[in-house]
Amino acid sequence: MICFLDLDGVLVNFLAEVHKFFALPYDVDNYPYEFGRWDILPPKNMSMSKSIFWDSLDEDFYANLSWTKDGKQILSFIEEVFGKNNICLLTSTTNTPGCSAGKVKWIQKNLPCYKRQFLIGPPKQFCAHDKAVLIDDKDRNISDFQFHGGYGILVPRAWNSEYKSMYNSFDVLYSKLSELSNMESVWKT
Ligand SMILES: [Mg+2]
């Protein structure tokens, strides 16, 4: 079985960094948006169009993002379950010049052993098959991946449907992956 692993919102602290970039306050414990709602950007109280907002996040922004609090723990558990060779980072990109280049730089700097094990692009469901699992923080990505024949595990975050478990993201992931690792059929090649 192989694992496709999302970056933003799973390993990378994207939303907090967006607020920092615009010098806006942000505290996930006092979450300023509607829980479970995905489409929250541009940040609250900013009078900025969506296109200007996304265009302002440049290569340097994406190259220098910080990790989520549980990102390293999540990654090391996933490595334990699948083995490093069976993990591919799978991250979307915006239309902004510099986004993809910044993400490649982030990987080279933070996860050099994955510098040849990543894919960048929005249609994650094209990677789906019956021996593949996607670990991601976006409901739609998970449902599309499952619809196309893959397995999907949603990492609970404030902005997705499992927000009630956002403080137990690792535990949820742990139990779902343990369940998956007990399904012999998916591990046979
Ligand atoms: Mg994500």
Give the residue extent of every domain in the chain: 2-187
Distance 158 CA to ligand 1 centre (A): 12
Distance 41 CA to ligand 1 centre (A): 14
Sign of CA pseudo-dihedral 62, 138, 44, 55: positive
Neighbour count for residue 136 (Cβ, 10 Å) = 27
Neighbour count for residue 58 (Cβ, 10 Å) = 15
**CATH topology for 2-187?**
Rossmann fold (3.40.50)
Instruction: Spell out the residues 6+ positions from residue 75 whose beta carbon is closer than 8 angstroms to its own.
Output: 5, 11, 111
Residue type, 58: D
Distance 7 CA to ligand 1 centre (A): 6
Query: pLDDT digit of tens for each residue in the chain (189 aa)?
Result: 999 999 999 999 999 999 999 999 999 999 999 999 999 999 887 888 988 999 999 999 999 999 999 999 999 999 999 999 999 999 999 989 899 999 999 999 999 999 999 999 999 999 999 999 999 999 999 999 999 999 999 999 999 999 999 999 999 999 999 998 887 777 765
pTM: 0.95
Relative orientation angle of helices 169-181 and 71-82, to the nearest 10 degrees: 10
Distance 40 CA to ligand 1 centre (A): 13
C-alpha Rg value of the chain to the nearest Å: 16
Distance 134 CA to ligand 1 centre (A): 11
Distance 157 CA to ligand 1 centre (A): 10
pLDDT of residue 47: 85
